[in-house]
Amino acid sequence: SQKIEQNSEALNIQEGKTATLTCNYTNYSPAYLQWYRQDPGRGPVFLLLIRENEKEKRKERLKVTFDTTLKQSLFHITASQPADSATYLCAPTGRGGYNKLIFGAGTRLAVHP
């Protein structure tokens, strides 16, 4: 069955450093992959979408890579700020259907001043 793995442990980093979060998937070949941010008690907020034919995508301080050979996506936040503290979810999405999202468990990021 499809499986998505994200760092289960919380990631603690110092303000100003680059945070790198990992998403690994097995048993399927997603056409694209999305990253979301979720704050406690709130719905997820869309951050970036990267397609299988794209190696890298950037948006302001965010960068996502997608390696279909390794079946892995990396999510980077440069010059991190305490306001970046949240849980980050990855959702590799398969082909066809109604773009059903299956989420990883998420990685909790804490950026300390």
Partner 1 sequence: GAVVSQHPSWVICKSGTSVKIECRSLDFQATTMFWYRQFPKQSLMLMATSNEGSKATYEQGVEKDKFLINHASLTLSTLTVTSAHPEDSSFYICSATGLAGGGDQETQYFGPGTRLLVL
Contact at 8 Å (CB) between 32 and 50? yes
Closest distance of CB 111 from partner 1, Å: 20
Q: Do the Cβ atoms of 94 and 3 come closer than 8 Å?
A: no
Task: Yes or no: say if 13 and 112 are a contact pair by the CB < 8 Å rule.
Answer: yes
Name which of 34 and 73 has its Cβ closer to partner 1: 34
Shortest CB 62 distance to partner 1, Å: 15
Closest separation in Å from C-beta 67 to partner 1: 20
Beta partners for 87? 38, 108
Instruction: Give the footprint of partner 1 on this chain (CB under 8 A).
Output: 32, 34, 36, 41-46, 49, 89, 93, 97-106
Q: Between residues 17 and 59, which has the closer beta carbon with respect to partner 1?
A: 59
The phi and psi torsions of 83 (rounded to 5 degrees) equal: -65, -15
User: Which of residues 17 and 51 has its CB atom nearest to partner 1 in the complex?
Assistant: 51
